[in-house]
Amino acid sequence: MIRHIVLFKFKETANGKTREENLREARDRMLSLKGRIPQILEMTVSLAVPGSAPSNYDYLLDSRFRSLEELEAYQKHPLHVAFGNFVKELREPDGRACIDIEL
């Protein structure tokens, strides 16, 4: 099993919305993919506590897949690609970190 963890640091404002508004929308959009992309076994999205250190990341995706092949299929799925394009506009240019762990 593969655990896929992604962190994002969002811009203060983007697309005419505040960081908090964009974080909530990104969370809701990501969570809507569960059940629509069959490779996703489990998924949680957590948002940073308001007022936490400015150097911290804002958004955490923690998801699980049966294998690296299923993770790769998820990453290529059109719904995931669309989400990636959406969130790319909201996050800082270097505001992404990721790790894949074998369980």
| CATH number of the domain to which 39 belongs | 3.30.70.100
Q: Are strands 59-65 and 42-47 parallel, antiparallel or unpaired?
A: antiparallel
List alpha helices for the chain, DSSP H.
19-31, 68-76, 78-88
Tally of structural domains, the chain: 1
- DSSP code, position 28: H
Q: How many other C-beta atoms lie within 10 A of the C-beta of residue 4?
A: 19
Task: State residue 86's pLDDT score.
Answer: 97
Angle at 49 between CA 46 and CA 55, to 5 degrees: 100
Task: State residue 45's pLDDT score.
Answer: 98
Residues 6+ apart with CB under 8 A from 75: none
Confidence class for position 33, pLDDT limits 50, 70, 90: very high
Summarize the confidence of residues 44-72 as an average pLDDT: 96
Confidence class for position 38, pLDDT limits 50, 70, 90: very high
Nearest to 47 by CA among 29, 69, 31, 23: 23
Confidence class for position 3, pLDDT limits 50, 70, 90: very high
pTM of the predicted structure, to 2 decimals: 0.93
Q: State percent of the chain over pLDDT 90.
A: 98
Cα–Cα separations (whole angstroms), residue 37 to 1, 6, 18, 44, 85: 17, 17, 29, 15, 17
Task: State residue 56's pLDDT score.
Answer: 96
